[in-house]
């Protein structure tokens, strides 16, 4: 075991903390601008003004708008992953339980005021990636979506191995379908949130996915 008093690297300094706080403000400012003004509204100047720092600080932390967008995408995913890992017993879940936990966490994130800014920003980036394939949003976003999809694939494979998910399913196809379900709800919710009852939709999605992953295939 590692001696808890032994450090593996230099301790953070006040300057490190200030640097990280500045970086955090820039990411939060970018999320807000994306959610409110869209991708075209995201400029280095606006981000700096909103975060209360100079334009040079944006370039210092991220080098360019493309680097800033990549950091925002990483942040959206990381917040989701951190919330999952904080669930009691997450590391001991079966493959099926892990899939359902991700689905439940996704709907919970959509429903909360703070994380909904990330949901709106994600939708803006998704639309930008589809509508402007040559723009900078597509590459980083595609990479992050691949990570999410691969994670669900791994959950399905683990579920097949531990017996919680039926063995005749294609993990890649199931991951693609689950991701499509989640993105579709995201789009519909942002277009008409007043009519989207996320609690009921989340329960329906849970039941549908549970049935699809566990019920025996029947031939008529």
Give me the pLDDT at residue 147, please: 78
Give me the pLDDT at residue 1, please: 38
**CA-CA distance, 113 to 123, in Å (whole number)?**
15
Written as tens digits, the pLDDT of the chain (220 aa) is 334 444 455 555 756 678 888 999 999 999 999 999 998 899 999 999 999 988 888 889 998 888 899 899 899 889 889 999 999 999 999 999 999 999 999 888 887 766 578 888 888 888 887 766 555 555 667 777 777 889 999 999 999 999 999 999 999 999 999 989 988 888 888 777 777 788 888 899 999 999 999 986 544 4
Superfamily of domain 66-214: Tetracycline Repressor, domain 2 (1.10.357.10)
- Is residue 87 within 8 A of residue 101, CB to CB? The reply is yes
**CA-CA distance, 56 to 28, in Å (whole number)?**
17
Residue 15 structure tokens: 């300057």
Which of 29, 24, 23, 30 has its CA nearest to residue 125?
30
Provide CB contacts within 8 A for 93, sequence distance 6+: 101
Give me the pLDDT at residue 8, please: 56
Give me the pLDDT at residue 133, please: 55
């Amino acid at each position: 075991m590692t001696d808890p008093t032994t450090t593996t690297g230099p301790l953070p300094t006040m300057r490190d903390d200030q640097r990280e706080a500045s970086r955090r403000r820039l990411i939060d400012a970018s999320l807000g601008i994306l959610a409110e003004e869209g991708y075209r509204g995201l400029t280095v100047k606006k981000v700096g003004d909103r975060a209360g720092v100079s334009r040079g600080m944006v370039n210092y932390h991220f080098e360019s708008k493309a680097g800033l967008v990549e950091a925002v995408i990483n942040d959206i995913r990381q917040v989701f992953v951190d919330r999952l890992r904080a669930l009691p017993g997450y590391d001991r879940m079966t493959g099926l339980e892990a899939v359902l936990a991700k689905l439940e966490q996704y709907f919970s994130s959509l429903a909360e005021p703070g994380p909904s800014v990330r949901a709106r920003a994600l939708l803006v980036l998704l639309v930008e990636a589809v509508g402007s394939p040559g723009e900078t949003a597509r590459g980083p976003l595609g990479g992050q979506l691949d990570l999410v999809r691969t994670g669900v694939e791994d959950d399905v494979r683990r579920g097949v191995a531990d017996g919680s998910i039926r063995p005749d399913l294609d993990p890649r196809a199931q991951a693609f379908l689950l991701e499509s379900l989640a993105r579709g709800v995201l789009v519909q919710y942002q277009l008409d949130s007043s009519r989207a009852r996320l609690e009921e939709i989340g329960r329906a999605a849970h039941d549908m996915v549970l049935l699809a992953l566990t019920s025996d295939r029947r031939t008529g």
